[in-house]
Amino acid sequence: MSKNLPQLCVAVVGATGMVGRTILKVLEEHALPVGRLIPVASIRSVGKHVEFMGKQVEVVDLDTALSMGPHVALFSAGGPLSLKWAPKFAAAGITVVDNSSAWRMSDAHKLVVPEVNGEVVEMEDLILANPNCTTMQLVMCLKPIHDRWGIERGVVSTYQSVTGTGQAAVEQLNGERSGMDPERVYPHAIDQNCLPHCDVFLENGYTKEEMKVHQETKKILGDPTIGLSCTAVRVPVLGGHSESVYLELASDVELDEVRAAWSAFPGVVVKDTPKDNVYPMPRHAQGEDEVFVGRLRRDLTHPRGIHFWVVADNLRKGAATNTVQIAEMLVKAGRWG
The answer to whether residues 324 and 22 touch, using CB atoms and an 8 Å cutoff, is no
The two beta strands, 110-111 and 49-52, are unpaired
Task: Output the pLDDT for position 5.
Answer: 66
The answer to whether residues 310 and 293 touch, using CB atoms and an 8 Å cutoff, is yes
Q: Output the CA angle 328-284-154, nearest 5 degrees.
A: 75
Question: Count of domains in the chain?
Answer: 2
Marked catalytic residue, from 9, 109, 133, 146: 133
Residue 2 has pLDDT above 70, yes or no: no
Residues 107 and 232 reside in one and the same domain:
no
Task: Output the pLDDT for position 4.
Answer: 66
Higher pLDDT, 243 or 3: 243
Residue 31 has pLDDT above 90, yes or no: no
Does any domain span residue 2? no
Please state the rounded mean pLDDT for residues 78-94. Answer: 97
Domain residues for the domain of 62 are 8-130+319-332
Q: Is 133 noted as a catalytic residue in this protein?
A: yes
Residues 212 and 306 reside in one and the same domain:
yes
Name the nearest CA neighbour of 293 among 310, 276, 318. Answer: 310
The answer to whether residues 59 and 46 touch, using CB atoms and an 8 Å cutoff, is yes
Residue 231 has pLDDT above 80, yes or no: yes
Please state the rounded mean pLDDT for residues 290-308. Answer: 98
Residue 187 has pLDDT above 60, yes or no: yes
Please state the rounded mean pLDDT for residues 285-310. Answer: 98
- Tell me the per-residue pLDDT of 188-209, one tens digit each, with 9 for 90 and over: 999 999 999 999 999 999 999 9
Does any domain span residue 337? no
Please state the rounded mean pLDDT for residues 89-101. Answer: 97
Residues 212 and 262 reside in one and the same domain:
yes
Residue percentage of the chain with pLDDT more than 90? 97
Query: Mean pLDDT of all residues in the chain?
Result: 96
Confidence band of 3 (pLDDT split at 50, 70, 90): low
Does any domain span residue 160? yes
Q: Is 307 noted as a catalytic residue in this protein?
A: no
Residue 270 has pLDDT above 70, yes or no: yes
